[in-house]
Structure 1
Amino acid sequence: MRYLTLIIIIMLFGCKTQKLQLETVNQLDLKKYTGTWYEIARLPNSFEKGLKCTTANYSINDDGSIKVVNKGHKTDEPDKVKQSTGKALVPDKAEPGKLKVSFQWPFYGKYWVLKLDPEYKHVLVGTPSGKYLWLLSRNPDMDDREMLEYVEYAKSKGFNIQNLIYVAQDCNP
């Protein structure tokens, strides 16, 4: 029990990170957002380490929550796929761009929609800690000009774009 208390204290007070001043999109049509998104770029994270051809697929559950299925091929064994299924919620309808995502209940992380193409072709998602950032597209590749626009936007918000990983999307479907 003592160790559990120590872990909780460390989680609450020991992991102090600087928060970015982020604004999210004012409108998010979840029906338009559903479907497959290809990961174009991301900040390094442990759960996608060594993955390429990563995608996120969103669908709406009967209860209004969002089913999230993330997939990626291992770079050293491209025939092997790693998949995670989770659930996303919009906790406050007044702030539709501030979602919460869980891949291991009861723990939820922030999933903030920061910049979204009006036609839902490209999206920039991040966290106010600045630790996580994803650039997603409806297609496995993205026009360089558009990609630069999203990356520069992320930089202007304080994300460390020097560490961006540009994701290879060269796997067979």
Structure 2
Amino acid sequence: MFWRHPTVRIILTAGLFAGIAGALGCTIHPPLITARHVDLSRYAGTWYEIARFPERFQRNCVATQAHYTPLDDGTIKVVNRCRTRSFDGEVQSIEGTAHVVEPSTNARLKVKFGVLAQGDYWILEVDQEYRYALVGTPDRNHLWILSRTPVMSDEVYRGLRSRAADQGFPVERLLKTPQPA
């Protein structure tokens, strides 16, 4: 009987799981590819958010920035700031910490804000000069395009967007973040 062959059984089992996932509305993605190595001392400093997926906690945010500071205990201090509704609006900020969960690359981190809010922060790409970065989560529900400057060239933006799409991110959800020029 052909279904007793190990290869056929693997294919049938994979098909069954894919069918169940599809019926439940789940999407199965290949593993997310992260940056080969991130020098966290070079990654430290200020990053401007160029674009992001809509986030409840970032509603009405403009001029969004993230500040990363390595600490002596090996963790990273994270301070996220934005202005509410306009460049002159009230400043909102939240402080947290991040720790590396994959020391061989430093590209996979967990970020914690407060007691309960914790999430993945995977650096998918950073250019050699650490001028821009693509950051996401393995479930493809969160994505950020970051830059060291408040303005990014359309060419670089389109390239990052395209590479995020290649990894299964629904890039049509990206919202550009207003930044002062």
TM-score by length of 2: 0.81
**Structure 1: stretches of 5+ with no match in the other structure:** 1-15
Asked if 1:120 is matched to 2:130, the reply is: yes
For residues 99-114 of structure 1, the aligned pairs below 5 Å read 99-105=109-115, 107-114=117-124
Larger CA deviation: 69-78 vs 140-149:
69-78
1:84 to partner: Cα distance: 0.5
Identical positions, percent: 38
Corresponding residue to 1:146 among 156, 160, 165: 156
User: Do 2:62 and 2:87's aligned partners in 1 also have CA atoms closer than 8 Å?
Assistant: no
User: Do 1:19 and 1:129's aligned partners in 2 also have CA atoms closer than 8 Å?
Assistant: no
**Structure 2: stretches of 5+ with no match in the other structure:** 1-24
Task: For residue 110 of structure 1, give the secondary structure of its aligned residue in structure 2.
Answer: strand
Q: 1:28 to 1:19 in 2, by over 3 A?
A: farther
1:18 to partner: Cα distance: 3.8
1:34 to partner: Cα distance: 0.4
More contact order relative to length (CA 8 Å, sep ≥ 6): 1
Q: Deviations over 1:102-129 (max 9, x none)?
A: 0123552100000111110000000011
What is the CA RMSD across the aligned residues, in angstroms?
A: 1.8
How many residues were matched structurally? Answer: 156
TM-score by length of 1: 0.84
- Aligned equivalent of 2:73: 63
Q: 1:19 to 1:133 in 2, by over 3 A?
A: farther
